[in-house]
Structure 1
């Protein structure tokens, strides 16, 4: 357990050598999400493997107020600092954690040797029109959640939805540092299983991201939902192994 800004966060460490592999799960998920990836990647690479529960998830403390990727990036930085892991890190980020990764690598580019972005939420996706569309589409769901008895899960969902439009308008302006190599894995289904237009834009955003620098490449996880670490852990493990080989020890 580590402490940052008055709240506690649970980190789980499998000892090993550098590069350290840090696994960050998507929204509403905790460290257990990586159960099909973490043991195999630790055994196959010999690297130190770190997972953690973000605030409001798993064994970590709840934090009141809106959820912000910048705060989550601060939590991750605090945890890695206390663990002594501030260089030669391969950061593996799924879905919402792509937003955390983008803020993190901009603040700590020299900590990260490479990244694997697993159907990650990337800035390129959040055009003004798409963000406005998502805000409008989510209004009914958010209103319904507010009427329900509050649980830890619903509180976290509402925290992530708070101020969604302005947050993602700002996120759209960010870019990934050219110095940090990345493998982007996109699922064949994307998160938008009922909206072909949104699914296409999601895939275009992934392609736009990898096309922006020569040290990035795209991998398609065939026959997979958005939950690639569950449906196709082999694809994630192979990408991590490739990145570990690329960055060296």
Structure 2
């Protein structure tokens, strides 16, 4: 069962732009944080920090007939919004969020996208426009109207791209953590992802009542058309962005696809001003888990720059 859960987690990320070519390498292992400005926290230090951290407050927000869970740790100055990748809920940030609040004093917001964590599911194909609307509605309900530092991992990069494009005055800066970015989605690469993931989708259809399977199916139904459109999307020039790309990428078992992923990140950075590329040395796609100190460092740099 443990092995199956690991497979399910990765399969759900696959249709966010991560082919199953990448998941055959085995269990992800943590890497050292050598070269980062922060030392990697020990388990005991993390636990101690978490015990002393302010507790987030749950806010349930309704949008278009479904309820969404937003978890808010109040602070001052900018608002750091953490958005997890495909198949992950707000708990993905459980170690990073308290540290950011402690270090910066900023308000920190995590949330569960529709169908994940404590948020209600939305039937039908996954729609990035609906996901953007959920985030917009949630932040508006929380009274967040300016100075957002948007931190997005993996699939959440797609939400971030459209959200920043629609709300350039709201987003002060963004940290895109091994994020799904428009240059990657050529017709050829999208077709490769779809073909590689078809077995996982077929397996998910055997138990559609499982929330993770349901989400995988909904993403698959809209994947090709959505990513053809996403390939043409652009990031607003007025919003600074730091792009953290993992060294191993989601395609650790496929050198060609890994190269394309890294090239897409570099191309995105070249396409506009105020964009910085950072490589997470030694990290798998799970940069927030493998290199948390690096992610924290880059977020705090953005907070200082835009604060």
Computing the radius of gyration from Cα coordinates, the structure with the larger value is 2
- Establish whether residue 84 from structure 1 lines up as the match of residue 143 from structure 2: yes
Contact 1:18 1:89 in 2 (8 A): no
Q: Which residue of 1 aligns with 2:66?
A: 7
Q: Which residue of 1 aligns with 2:48?
A: none
Contact 1:80 1:86 in 2 (8 A): yes
Shift of 1:132: 1.4
Out of 175, 182, 187, the residue aligned to residue 246 of structure 2 is 187
Q: Which residue of 2 aligns with 1:163?
A: 222
- Which shows bigger deviation, 151-160 or 135-144? 135-144
> Hey, what's the Cα distance between the residues in 1 that align with 2:198 and 2:65?
32
Structure 2: stretches of 5+ with no match in the other structure: 1-59
Q: Which residue of 2 aligns with 1:102?
A: 161
- Establish whether residue 219 from structure 1 lines up as the match of residue 274 from structure 2: no
Shift of 1:149: 5.6
> Hey, what's the Cα distance between the residues in 2 that align with 1:99 and 1:48?
23
Question: Any residues of structure 2 matched to 1:137-216 within 5 Å, and which?
Answer: 137-148=196-207, 150-216=209-275
> Hey, what's the Cα distance between the residues in 2 that align with 1:135 and 1:237?
33
Contact 1:36 1:229 in 2 (8 A): no
Q: Which residue of 2 aligns with 1:46?
A: 105
Structure 1: stretches of 5+ with no match in the other structure: none
Q: Which residue of 2 aligns with 1:34?
A: 93
Contact 2:127 2:222 in 1 (8 A): no
Contact 2:208 2:214 in 1 (8 A): no
- Specify which structure has the bigger relative contact order, considering alpha-carbon pairs within 8 angstroms and separated by 6 or more residues: 2
Compute the TM-score of the two structures, normalised by the length of structure 2: 0.79
Query: Matched residue pairs, number?
Result: 248
SS at 2:205 equivalent: helix
Shift of 1:140: 2.2
Shift of 1:9: 0.4
Shift of 1:4: 0.4
> Hey, what's the Cα distance between the residues in 2 that align with 1:149 and 1:232?
34
